[in-house]
Structure 1
Amino acid sequence: MSIQTLDLSQERCPMSLLLVKRSFKPLGLDEQLHIQLIDESSIRDILNYLMMQNADVDCSKAGNVTTLTVSKQENL
């Protein structure tokens, strides 16, 4: 399994959302995307986008950094 890391702790919306869209689109079924965020509005917008994409998302928080572990699901 391949893992890509996207550190967006210095980014704010809409740039963070655009960068996630750019990284998520080519993601394969055997790949994961780890996204690190601080901005609450970016977290909310990215989670909404990933929900619309039917992505599998695991969310964890350490201090003020939220990490989203994202993978694509097979279309049924």
Structure 2
Amino acid sequence: MEIQSLDLREQRCPMALLLAKRACALLEHGQPIALYVTDAGALRDIPRYLQQHGFVVEHQQSDGTTVLKVTKL
């Protein structure tokens, strides 16, 4: 099964956070999504919000982009 992804590299906070929240709200329990983020505000706000709302967030760095692997618990 392929992991869903959402490219937020062109988005700045708060739009990046809003789009991430919408995408993650549609996940089933245990389902992952990869979020591609470059904005400093989004890198701070997205993981904080998602962790407070029952998601596991892992960070990976790749070519100047941070990949947030988000899984719904």
Normalised by the size of structure 1, how large is the TM-score? 0.87
The one-letter code of the counterpart of 2:31 is E
Q: What is the alpha-carbon distance in structure 2 between the residues aligned to residue 69 and residue 50 of structure 1? A: 11
Q: What do you get for the CA RMSD once the two structures are aligned?
A: 1.2
Supply the AA of the counterpart residue of 1:22.
R
**Which residue does the alignment assign to 1:38?**
38
**What SS class does the counterpart of residue 10 from structure 1 fall into?**
coil
1:68 aligned residue: 68
Structure 1 gaps of 5+ residues are none
Moved over 4 A (4+): none
CA offsets, 1:28-55, max 9 Å, x none? Answer: 0242110000011111010111111121
Distance 2:30 2:39 in 1: 28
Structure 2 gaps of 5+ residues are none
